[in-house]
Structure 1
């Protein structure tokens, strides 16, 4: 039985609030020395300070083969652009997607809850620095070894193929 969209929204929103206690907190920065941050290959994107306290833009659910629950968060510039329905997004926009394996809830059978964290993904808008990729830089951070360059090469290609008309951003604002 699939969880209705409203139930999914609540599940992911609660997971976001609890993110500081979830396994997602173990994905990055645990191996870095204090004051340093892991950077993505190709783009050099890092995880922004305090991103786990940013507002929720929207939840998402990814079916097979990933079978994930996701939450997309935005910095203040992103949130203002979403509220104004501003496209293209302005420079300084930062989007962060948290992802967890989806598992059945032990308390409520039709519901899904976050399981093990899978990735934290980041998009940074800087039209000069990332001119060759629609103005966006990408970061994909995983538990264990850093994601490799080949994985990052697929980021823009996928966004370009599917959402060029929405400034390369999949996520729509959940009002």
Structure 2
């Protein structure tokens, strides 16, 4: 910083502009955090999307989960369309489950754990069944090593359902 203070006005402005350019190139500023490998972001307004299905996962994660989908996803589920059309987006929200303090036989959401996103774009993601994946903790993407396991798990278990685990809840 001492070097910046010693620069004449024009030099300081140039240095500040360069710092700003580096910030933008790194993804700082208004850009959303994107998952490594796939570049998937958390979609705007996903909390207002329709519920696809809830789930309870026991060991080892002990999570309550809710999967929501954009309108393309809901339309495809309702029509029984497989494969899902490009533009389908599914978002899974997960929380640790805890016993309800008001009703002892009920489990309720505790601390949030992850937001996971699947985006169907067969041209952009041809090597992963047409799906891009994103896993976020506190709004930040997890590392690339964890993203490498997304498609492998979906491919080994639900390839016949276009790589989607969640079935539409009646």
TM range, smaller chain: 0.7 to 0.9
Residue 41 (structure 2) pairs with residue 46 (structure 1): yes
Q: What is the aligned counterpart of 2:62 among 43, 64, 67?
A: 67
TM-score when scaled to structure 2?
A: 0.82
The separation in 2 between residues aligned to 1:34 and 1:107, in whole angstroms, is 43
Map of 1:167 onto structure 2: 162
Map of 1:11 onto structure 2: none
Residue 76 (structure 2) pairs with residue 81 (structure 1): yes
How many residues of Structure 1 are paired with residues of Structure 2 in the alignment?
A: 144
CA RMSD of aligned residues (A): 1.4
The separation in 2 between residues aligned to 1:71 and 1:104, in whole angstroms, is 18
Map of 1:134 onto structure 2: 129
Map of 1:8 onto structure 2: none
Change (3 A) 1:109 1:52: same
Output one character per residue of 1:102-144: Cα deviation in whole Å (capped at 9) or x when no partner: 0000000110000000000000000010000000000000127
Map of 2:111 onto structure 1: 116
Q: Secondary structure at the match of 1:128?
A: coil
TM-score when scaled to structure 1?
A: 0.79
Change (3 A) 1:171 1:65: same
What residue ranges of structure 2 are gaps of 5+ in the alignment? 1-26
What residue ranges of structure 1 are gaps of 5+ in the alignment? 1-31
The separation in 2 between residues aligned to 1:167 and 1:145, in whole angstroms, is 27
After the TM superposition, which segments of 4 or more aligned residues of structure 1 sit over 6 Å from their partners? none
Map of 1:94 onto structure 2: 89
The answer to which structure, 1 or 2, has the higher relative contact order (CA under 8 A, 6+ apart) is 1
